[in-house]
Amino acid sequence: MELEKAKERVEELVPLLKYYTQMYFDDKQVVSDYEYDMLMKELKGIEKEYPELIRKDSPTQKVGASIKKGFEKVTHEIPLQSLQDVFSFDEVREFDERMQKAAKENGKELKYVVETKIDGLSAALEYKNGVFVKGATRGNGVVGENVTENLKTIKTIPQKLKEPIDITVRGEVFIGKEEFEKLNADRLMDEEEQFANARNAAAGSLRQLDSKITAKRPLDIYIFNVQKSDSIKFTSHYESLKYLEKLGFNVNPVKILCNNIEEAIKAIEKIGKDREKISFGIDGAVVKVDDLELREKIGTTYKTPKWAVAYKYPPEKKETKLLDIVCQVGRTGAITPMAILEPVVVAGSKISKTTLHNEDYIRQKDIKIGDTVVIQKAGDVIPEVVEVKKRRRTGEEKKFEMPKTCPVCGAQAVREIGEAAWYCNGIECPAKLYRGIIHFASREAMDIVGLGDAIIEELINRGLINNITDLYKLTLEDIASLKKNGKKFAQNLINSIEASKHRDLYRLINALGIRYVGVKTAKVLAKTYGSMDKLIEASYESLYMRDEVGKIIAKSVYDFFREEQTIDVINKLKEYGVNMEAEVAEGVDDRFAGKTFVLTGTLERYSRDEASEIIEKFGGKTSGTVSKKTSYVLAGEAAGSKLTKAQSLGIQVISEAEFEEMIK
C-alpha cells in the first residue's frame, strides 16, 4: 500500500476502532469479534509497514477500558495485560520459532500450555492470609475498578482459601451458555433489550454500581493465572494451576500441557471441535510458555506478553431449514415472531429457534417458511438469520403473515403507525398478567401498598390470581400462606387492597394499562367524561377532540374499550365495589386555565411531579417543550436550553418564589 493511501486508511480505522473499543468496554458490542479483529489486524499491518503513521491515540497503543464513574480506582501491582491475537497456524508456528530461539539462548526446555480463551471480563482477586480482601476489573491493564462487593456475590469465588497464604490471582468472569440463554429468554419475555453476547452480559453485570443487581445475574469465574505470591514460588505455569485448584479456586478446566508446538496446534484443533461440549463461551485458544523463569527472560511489550498468543477461531455459519414461524407474547403484550429451525450446532451451541424481531425484519430479508437459511453465531452472539438461500426455493415455501389476534388470548392484535411491533390489546391476556398487575398496583395507579413484585409472582404461581380482578377476591388466609407468620402482613395488604377501591377514576384509567395513556392523559379523560361508563361510550371523534389526546391515543383508547375482555374486567371491578366516578372538586379554582407551563432545572421545595400536580389542580397544563404557545417557564437551579429558548422567544420566566406567590 502506498504511503498516502495508508495514511488515509489509518485516518478511517483509528476513530472507527476507538468507537468499537469504547462500545465493547461499555458492554455494548456493535460489531462481531471477528470483524473487529480483522480491522485491528489491518491497522497493525499498516503501522508495521509505516511506523511513522502510528498515532498516540491509536487503539494499538492502548490497553483496556476507561474507569466507570462511581467505582473506586485500583492500581494493579502486576499489570493485567492483553494477548497478541493470531489467526492462522502459520502465525502460531512463527511464534514458536521466536520461543525456540529464546529457549535455546537460555538453556531451557520449551513446553506450552494450551487453554481456552474464555469470553468474559478479566479480574484480579487479592487474598491476605487466605481471606478474599479485594477484587478489581482489568480496566486499562494498570488501573481497574474496585468491584469487591460484586465479586463476593459469585458463588464460585472462595471467600477463604484452604491455606492461609497471601496471593493475587487473575480470572475471567463469565456467564455459561445455558445460563446466558435463560437470561436472554427472560429478558425477551420482559421485552427488555437482549444482551448481544455472554461477554457483554457478564461485563455489564460485574460493573453494576448496585451489587444486588449483580447478585441476580448468573455469574461464574475461572482462574487462569497467579499474578503475585510472596508465600510460594512456582517454576511451571501448569503446576501453579494445579496448586490453585488445591487452594479451592475454580480453575479453567481446559488446560493442556504440550511438549512442542505441533502438540499445541492439535490441542487448538481439538478445542475447536469440542466447542459445542464446552459449557462456557470461548473466542479462541491461548498458547503459553510453561516455564515461568523463561517467561521472565522473554519479557513483555507495554501491552502484551511476548511469551503467549491467542489463536482466534473464525465465526461459524451453518445452513439449516426454517421449519415454521411462531409468535410469542411478551409481558407487555408485544408479539414477537420466532423462527423454528431444524436443529443445527453453531459455535458450540445447538440452535433450534431464534428471534425474527418483527414484521419489517421478515419483509426486508424476504424470509419464508420452508426456506434454507444461514445462521451465524460468532462466539456467544445471539443467533440470527444472516441470509436466505433463495436459489434453493422449490415454490412450496409460504409467506408469513403476522396474526391479527393474540396467539395466547385471542384479543385483537394492533400495530400503531410508526411502530415495528404488534401488540395484544387484551387486558386479561395471561402473558401480560405479571406486568399488568405490577402496573395496576403501582403508586400512580391503584397504589396498593405491600403488593410487591415477588408477592405478585407467588400469587400467580399458586394460581390465586389469573387476572387483575382476582386481587379483590383474595382472602386473609390466601395472603398469610405466602409468608411464615404472615398474618400481620396479610391484614395490611388486605386493608390496602380495600382502600384501592376508593381511588379516583383517573387512577383506575391509568391502572388499566391502555397503550399511550399515562397519568396526565388519564386525568384529562376522567375530568372530561366524569365516569367510566361515559368513557366507554365515547366515540373516536369525541376522544380525538380532547386536549392532550391525539389521533394515536384516541384510537388506542377507543379500541381498548371495544374489547370484550376490557368490558368483562370493568364489570367485575364494579361488582367488587371499585370506584368508577371522577372526584368532583368543590369550589373549583381554575386560575391557570388555558395556561401552559414548562419546568426546567431543579426546584428546591417541589419535585417536578409535585409542581405539575399543583399546576393541573388549578386548571393548567404542563409541557416538556418550549414553544410560542408556552405561557410560563418555571426555572430552577441549573436551568438549561429550555430557559435559553424561552428568553429568545420572549416567554415569561418565573422563579420558584414567584410560582409560590401565584399559588397562594
- For the four alpha carbons of 608, 613, 619 and 625, in that order, the dihedral sign comes to positive
Query: Strand pairing partners for 423?
Result: 334, 414
Tell me the H-state helices in 106-151: 148-151
Does 250 map to a domain? yes
Tell me the H-state helices in 75-172: 89-105, 148-151
- Contact assessment for residue 579 and residue 508, using Cβ atoms and an 8 Å cutoff: yes
Residues 54 and 96 in one domain: no
Q: What is the pLDDT, as a whole number, of residue 36?
A: 75
Joined grid coordinates for residue 165: 497464604
Give the count of alpha carbons within 13 A of 219, CB side only.
32
Does 327 map to a domain? yes
Does 194 map to a domain? yes
Tell me the H-state helices in 512-563: 519-529, 532-537, 540-544, 551-560
User: CA angle 85-138-40, nearest 5°?
Assistant: 30
Does 589 map to a domain? no
Residues 32 and 93 in one domain: no
Angle at which helices 433-441 and 453-461 cross, to 10° = 140
Q: Cα(307)–Cα(327) distance, rounded to whole angstroms?
A: 51
pLDDT at position 1 over 60: yes
Does 66 map to a domain? no
Residues 126 and 176 in one domain: yes
Does 585 map to a domain? no
Residues 225 and 358 in one domain: no
Identify the H or E element spanning 622. Answer: strand 621-623
- 51-55, 419-423, 481-485: which range is least confident on average? 481-485
Query: What pLDDT, in 10s, does the model give residues 197-251?
Result: 788 888 888 988 888 888 889 999 999 999 999 888 899 999 999 999 999 999 9
Q: Cα(404)–Cα(422) distance, rounded to whole angstroms?
A: 9
Q: What is the mean pLDDT of the chain?
A: 88
Identify the H or E element spanning 202. Answer: helix 198-206
Band of the pLDDT at 88, cuts 50, 70, 90?
very high
Instruction: Give the end-to-end CA distance of the chain in Å, rounded to a whole number.
Output: 76
Q: Cα(400)–Cα(419) distance, rounded to whole angstroms?
A: 19
Is 68 in the active site?
Answer: no
- 242-246, 371-375, 477-481: which range is least confident on average? 477-481
Residues 331 and 232 in one domain: no
Q: What is the pLDDT, as a whole number, of residue 380?
A: 47
Q: What is the pLDDT, as a whole number, of residue 26?
A: 57
CATH number of 25's domain: 1.10.287.610
Last residue of one domain, picked from the residues 311, 336, 366: 311
Residues 157 and 243 in one domain: yes
Number of C-beta neighbours around residue 578 at 10 A: 21
More confident residue, 372 or 382: 372
More confident residue, 59 or 106: 106
Joined grid coordinates for residue 105: 539462548
pLDDT at position 20 over 90: no
Query: Mapped to the 3 state alphabet, what secondary structure does 313-359 carry?
Result: CCCCEEEEEEEEEEEEECCCCEEEEEEEEEEEEECCEEEEEEECCCH
Q: Cα(203)–Cα(615) distance, rounded to whole angstroms?
A: 44
| b/e burial code for range 401-428 (CB count within 10 A of at least 16 → b) | eeeeebebbebbbbeeeeeebbbbbbbb
- Phi and psi at residue 15, in whole multiples of 5°? -65, -35
Residues 335 and 456 in one domain: no
More confident residue, 224 or 26: 224
Query: What pLDDT, in 10s, does the model give residues 638-651?
Result: 787 888 889 889 99
The range of the structural domain enclosing residue 29 comes to 3-61
Helix-, strand-, coil-residue percentages of the chain, each rounded to 5 = 40, 20, 40
pLDDT at position 587 over 60: no
Residues 454 and 543 in one domain: yes
Band of the pLDDT at 376, cuts 50, 70, 90?
confident
Q: What is the pLDDT, as a whole number, of residue 604?
A: 83
Residues 157 and 235 in one domain: yes
Residues 439 and 542 in one domain: yes
Q: Stretch 567-571: mean pLDDT, rounded?
A: 95
Single out the residue of 341, 328, 338, 327 nearest to residue 374, CA to CA: 341
Angle at which helices 198-206 and 177-189 cross, to 10° = 80
Q: Cα(465)–Cα(534) distance, rounded to whole angstroms?
A: 29
CATH number of 369's domain: 2.40.50.140
Query: What pLDDT, in 10s, does the model give residues 248-281?
Result: 999 999 999 999 999 999 999 999 888 878 889 8
Most confidently modeled range among 20-29, 32-41, 101-110, 181-190:
101-110
Q: What is the pLDDT, as a whole number, of residue 400?
A: 96
* DSSP letters for 452-511: -HHHHHHHHHTTS-SSGGGGGG--HHHHHTTSTT-HHHHHHHHHHHHHHTTS-HHHHHHH
Residues 455 and 340 in one domain: no
Identify the H or E element spanning 141. Answer: none
Query: What pLDDT, in 10s, does the model give residues 126-137?
Result: 999 999 999 999
Q: Cα(284)–Cα(271) distance, rounded to whole angstroms?
A: 9
* DSSP letters for 553-575: HHHHHHHHTTSHHHHHHHHHHHH
Q: Cα(274)–Cα(114) distance, rounded to whole angstroms?
A: 14
Does 417 map to a domain? no
CATH number of 606's domain: 3.40.50.10190
Does 81 map to a domain? yes
Band of the pLDDT at 191, cuts 50, 70, 90?
low
Contacts of 164 (CB under 8 A, 6+ apart): 129, 130
Identify the residue whose cell numbers are 406567590: 661
Q: Cα(629)–Cα(651) distance, rounded to whole angstroms?
A: 9
Residues 296 and 328 in one domain: no
Last residue of one domain, picked from the residues 11, 27, 61: 61
Domain count within the chain: 5
Give the pairing type, strands 84-86 and 308-311: parallel
Q: Cα(486)–Cα(5) distance, rounded to whole angstroms?
A: 75
**Integer CA distances (angstroms), 527 to 61, 501, 530, in order:** 64, 19, 5
List 5, 18, 41, 117, catalytic entry:
117
Residue type, 130: G
Q: Cα(273)–Cα(280) distance, rounded to whole angstroms?
A: 14
